[in-house]
Every structure is written in structure tokens, then in C-alpha cells.
């Protein structure tokens, strides 16, 4: 096996083993998930990041395409304590550098103490610490990726026919496939739209609900989606997941901020402020809603740090979640969110919308 090197923003270089060759860079983050590695690796929200798995063995149940959330791997590189051959070969076929045989406990500790950081990776026969450092030097910050939506969104409208449920206009800022599947299971027809879709195009669809998806990076870089929410709030029921919650909050006068190391894993506890019940959730985000604005109520919070996990407005018909209710492989505590979205969309058929 060839050598590999991971250069960290703080100045250190960690030696590892090459499992898939290449040179890359990105924001180094970690997930605490111990299953669902196929789902994580194909999640568009990991675009421009280097994903570190805190669980020591990744790949122990193979690689199955039906578990993918998208058609390709999205992290720029992958780091683990040990990768099986199945996963390593898959990543190599995707052209994604991968390394293992390093102390991921120490690496996760550094991220927790210092926050998500830039890194550079050099892996393969010609790998060197210098190449890893050069890759690090070329690494932009996540907020610098102003066009990141174009890397993960559909290029044109794609419609998935459902049953007799509502028409959902899904703004694809990096949507996971299981969001579409969850809506189709509830008989909705889903129109997947580009991240920069215009108000006129949405008005032509006359949807029963406008849904803003998850996605990567800084919500401030999704100005078109934010403007779209501003255009239709109060006219069309609004839903959002993850990045979608952040975009909706910004459009309604709220603010967002970057977290130290984010929430990534399948074990994040969330408390509902009305029922006082706690559910376990899957999460993947590095930004959060700092202030929801005057028109949205915080209805759910993270047990660990009190960050906003759910925003709602009955008057405006807005319903958002910071976590992933559709999470695969689980937990499935919060799948009822999609029932609520469908109910919100079909409570009363609105008059046709029109863009200003």
C-alpha cells in the first residue's frame, strides 16, 4: 500500500495509508454515524468537504447502490481508521482520494477543540507532505464557494409523478434522494427545480407547497432561493430541511452563523418544546439559525447545545426542520414531518399564485 499525508490548517501533517489515490482539499469535518456510510458518502451536503468517520471500521456490510442518496460521491476526500476493500475500490472508481490507518480519535478531538478546519490530502505512489501542504494552501473556505449550488443541483425541472396528493415544488439546493422518496410515498407529485429557479417558473407550476431542500455550504450563498421564499411566503405553504430551514429563516428576517464543528451523525437528540418529548435525529450541517426573525417560532431545540431544530409559523404556513426527518438508515423517529407537510399543503386548495 502507498503512503498518504493529511495536512491540517494548524500546521501539522498526519501520515496515513493510501486506499484511493489522489490529491485534494476541503473543509475537514467528522460524522459520528456508525452505519449509513453509503448514504453519507452520497449526501450532496458534503460537497467541498473532507469527511472523517469517527467509527473505526467503515464498509463492513459492503456497498449497495440502492442505498445511495445521489448518483455520485460528494466529499472531496475520505478519512477513516480502517476502510474495507469494497469501500476503497468504490471511492477509487469515483476518483475520490481515501486514506486510513491513522488515529481518527485524535483527529476528531482536534476538530472538536479547534473547529472544522481546512486540510489538504496527498495519497498514492507519489504522495508527499509537501503536496498535501500545497493542496491545503489552495483550499478556500466554505463561505467562498458562492457557486456551490450549481455543483449539486439539477440543471432543469424534473418531475416525479405521485398519486392524488399535493404538487410539491422542491428547490434542489443539494437534495437527498430520500426526500423525494418520502414525498412520493405520501402520493405527492414532486417537481425538482434548480437552486436558482425563478419566481415566474414556480408560479407557472402553481404548487401546493414550496419546499427548500438540504444542501452544502453557507446559506448566504443561496440568494436566489432566499428571494424565492420572500416572494411566496404567505401565498404558498413553505417547508424546508437543513439548509432549507436556514434559507427560510434568512428570508423572513432571521440570521445564520457558522458552527464550530457542526452536527453530523445519526444520534443527535432533539426536544420538542410543546410536547417536551425527545427524539433521535440524523444531522449534517455546519451552519445554524442564530435568530429566527420576528415571524417564526422555535418549536424544537438540540438537547446538546440549544440550537434551533424546528421553526414554524401557523399564520404563514411555514414548517422547517434542521435535521433530516427522512434519514436513511435511520433513526425514523421524525418521519411524521412529511405527513405534516402534506397536511399543510392540502388543508385548503389555494387560489393560483402569481409572481410579482
Q: Domain 3-140 is in which class?
A: alpha beta
Which pLDDT belongs to residue 140?
A: 96
CA distances from 250 to 213, 216, 220, 289, 315 (A): 15, 16, 8, 8, 18
Alpha-carbon distance 37 to 31, whole Å? 10
Burial of 179 (0-12, 13-18, 19+ CB in 10 A): buried
- For domain 148-346, which CATH number applies: 3.40.50.880, 1.10.275.10, 3.20.20.140, 3.30.70.141? 3.40.50.880
Which pLDDT belongs to residue 89?
A: 98
Alpha-carbon distance 289 to 211, whole Å? 18
Write out the three cell numbers for 228: 424565492
Which pLDDT belongs to residue 349?
A: 46
pLDDT tens-digit readout, 305-350: 999 999 999 999 999 999 999 988 888 889 999 999 999 988 654 4
pLDDT digits (tens), the chain, 356 positions: 799 999 999 899 999 999 999 999 999 999 999 899 999 999 999 999 999 999 999 999 999 999 999 999 999 999 999 999 999 999 999 999 999 999 999 999 999 999 999 999 999 999 999 999 999 999 999 999 999 999 999 999 999 999 999 999 999 999 999 999 999 999 999 999 999 999 999 999 999 999 999 999 999 999 999 999 999 999 999 999 999 999 999 999 999 999 999 999 998 999 999 999 999 999 999 999 999 999 999 999 999 999 999 999 999 999 999 999 998 888 888 999 999 999 998 865 444 444 54
- The three-class DSSP label of residue 227 is helix
Alpha-carbon distance 313 to 254, whole Å? 13
Alpha-carbon distance 58 to 87, whole Å? 8
From 48, 242, 285, 309, the catalytic residue: 242
H-helix or E-strand containing 339?
A: helix 336-346
Alpha-carbon distance 80 to 16, whole Å? 10
* Location of C-alpha cell 491513522: 102
Which pLDDT belongs to residue 84?
A: 98
Which pLDDT belongs to residue 353?
A: 47
From 39, 69, 82, 326, the catalytic residue: 326
Domain boundaries, the chain: 3-140, 148-346
Alpha-carbon distance 32 to 46, whole Å? 14
pLDDT tens-digit readout, 246-263: 999 999 999 999 999 999
Query: How many residues in total does the chain contain?
Result: 356
CB 248 within 8 A of CB 292: no
Could you give phi then psi for residue 111, rounded to 5 degrees?
A: -65, -40
Can you spell out the DSSP letters for 132-172?
A: HHHHHHTPPPGGG-TTHHHHHS-SS-EEE--SSS-EEEEEE
Alpha-carbon distance 345 to 206, whole Å? 12
* Location of C-alpha cell 476538530: 111
**pTM of the model as a whole:** 0.96
CB 355 within 8 A of CB 301: no
Based on the residue annotation, tell me whether 332 is a catalytic residue of this protein: no
| Residues annotated in a binding site for L-glutamine | 45, 215, 217, 243, 246, 284, 286-287
Which pLDDT belongs to residue 348?
A: 55
CB 289 within 8 A of CB 246: yes
Based on the residue annotation, tell me whether 242 is a catalytic residue of this protein: yes
| Residues annotated in a binding site | 45, 215, 217, 243, 246, 284, 286-287
pLDDT tens-digit readout, 123-150: 999 999 999 999 999 999 999 999 999 9
State the CB neighbour count (10 A cutoff) for residue 240. Answer: 28
Which pLDDT belongs to residue 1?
A: 74
Which pLDDT belongs to residue 324?
A: 96
Which pLDDT belongs to residue 350?
A: 47
Amino acid at each position: 500500500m502507498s503512503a498518504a499525508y493529511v495536512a491540517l490548517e494548524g500546521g501539522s501533517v498526519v501520515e496515513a495509508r493510501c486506499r484511493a489515490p489522489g490529491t485534494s482539499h476541503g473543509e475537514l469535518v467528522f460524522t459520528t454515524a456508525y452505519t449509513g456510510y453509503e448514504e453519507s458518502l452520497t449526501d450532496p451536503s458534503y460537497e467541498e468537504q473532507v469527511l472523517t468517520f469517527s467509527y473505526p471500521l467503515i464498509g463492513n456490510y459492503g456497498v449497495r447502490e440502492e442505498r445511495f442518496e445521489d448518483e455520485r460521491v460528494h466529499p472531496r476526500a475520505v478519512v477513516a481508521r480502517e476502510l474495507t476493500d469494497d469501500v476503497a475500490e468504490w471511492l477509487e472508481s469515483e476518483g475520490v482520494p481515501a486514506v486510513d490507518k491513522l488515529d481518527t480519535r485524535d483527529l476528531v478531538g482536534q476538530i472538536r477543540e479547534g473547529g472544522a478546519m481546512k486540510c489538504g490530502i496527498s495519497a498514492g505512489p507519489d504522495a508527499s507532505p509537501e503536496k498535501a501542504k500545497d493542496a491545503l494552501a489552495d483550499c478556500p473556505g466554505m463561505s467562498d464557494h458562492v457557486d456551490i449550488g450549481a455543483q449539486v443541483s439539477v440543471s432543469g425541472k424534473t418531475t416525479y409523478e405521485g398519486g392524488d396528493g399535493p404538487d410539491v415544488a422542491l428547490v434542489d439546493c443539494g437534495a437527498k434522494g430520500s426526500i423525494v422518496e418520502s414525498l412520493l410515498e405520501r402520493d405527492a407529485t414532486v417537481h425538482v427545480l434548480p437552486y436558482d429557479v425563478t419566481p415566474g417558473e414556480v408560479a407557472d407550476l402553481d404548487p401546493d407547497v414550496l419546499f427548500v431542500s438540504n444542501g452544502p455550504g453557507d446559506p448566504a450563498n443561496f440568494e436566489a432561493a432566499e428571494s424565492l421564499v420572500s416572494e411566496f411566503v404567505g401565498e404558498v405553504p413553505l417547508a424546508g430541511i437543513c439548509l432549507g430551514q436556514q434559507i427560510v429563516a434568512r428570508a423572513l428576517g432571521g440570521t445564520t452563523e457558522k458552527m464550530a464543528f457542526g452536527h453530523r451523525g445519526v444520534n443527535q437528540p432533539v426536544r420538542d418544546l410543546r410536547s417536551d418529548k425527545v427524539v433521535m435525529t440524523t444531522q449534517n450541517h455546519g451552519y445554524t439559525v442564530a435568530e429566527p426573525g420576528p415571524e417564526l417560532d422555535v418549536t424544537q431545540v438540540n438537547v446538546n447545545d440549544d440550537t434551533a431544530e424546528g421553526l414554524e409559523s401557523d399564520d404563514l404556513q411555514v414548517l422547517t426542520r434542521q435535521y433530516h426527518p427522512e434519514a436513511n438508515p435511520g433513526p425514523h423517529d421524525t418521519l411524521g414531518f412529511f405527513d405534516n407537510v402534506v397536511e399543510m399543503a392540502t388543508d385548503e386548495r389555494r387560489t393560483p399564485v402569481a409572481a410579482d
